[in-house]
Amino acid sequence: MEINMEGYRPYRQMATTCETRPIRKKHVVWTKIESEPFLDGRFQFKTLRRELITSAAELWRSAYPEIYGSPHQFMLDPNYYEGLIAIEESWEKDSKTKVYCMPVIVELATNRVVSATVLTKFEKNLQVEFSFACTHPDFRIRGITNELRRVTRKIALNSGAEYFTTFCETWHDITQNWCINDGWKIAGIFPGNFTR
């Protein structure tokens, strides 16, 4: 999109109270991470791929049905995944162009997605939001999410983003503790992202 900005000028006091830098093309690119099986070889982090999409959507329906009716409702329906989320089969292109990345933990014996996160990029802000995390109810409190958090954080830190944000549900003190213990700084209290 081309816009003619001739004849327009910034507010004259703009940039007198903060540091500025030259404008450059901004890119946030999802990085592909390899991992080893963990918890006695039962689970492994995987990059989302076609054969895991149905299982991933089922996970979100089972573990986080509250997203129904939200802008992230698409995560409940496998038909939307390839159009919105970076997947392994088209990683070279998707890692650069797709707004969402969904790291997953797979139970190797069943090839079932049992835990996942969703990262959202805002390229113009050089920002990655840690949007959601979930673990299937049958697999909670087993240490699975610790590996997922480690890998998800690595993907974000290697993406080229400069800002990382997240929302912690006020009713979910586990994620609040994770964020505080991982060094996140509280920027404010937002009273409810979803209505219960």
Residue 121: pLDDT above 90?
A: yes
Residue 132's pLDDT is what?
A: 85
Domain residue limits at 163: 43-180
81: in domain: yes
67: in domain: yes
123: in domain: yes
- Give the total number of structural domains in the chain: 1
User: What tens digit of pLDDT does each residue of 14-29 get?
Assistant: 666 676 666 667 899 9
- Where does the pLDDT of residue 66 fall: very low under 50, low under 70, confident under 90, or very high at 90 and above? confident
Closest CA to 140 of 178, 173, 174, 111: 174
Average pLDDT over residues 37-65: 95
134: in domain: yes
95: in domain: yes
Count of Cβ atoms closer than 10 Å to residue 100 Cβ: 20
23: in domain: no
169: in domain: yes
Closest CA to 101 of 172, 161, 33, 47: 47
8: in domain: no
CA distances in angstroms from 186 to 153, 180, 190, listed in the order given: 18, 8, 11
Domain of residue 127, CATH code: 3.40.630.30
Closest CA to 183 of 107, 118, 130, 115: 130
Q: Is the pTM of this model over 0.75?
A: yes
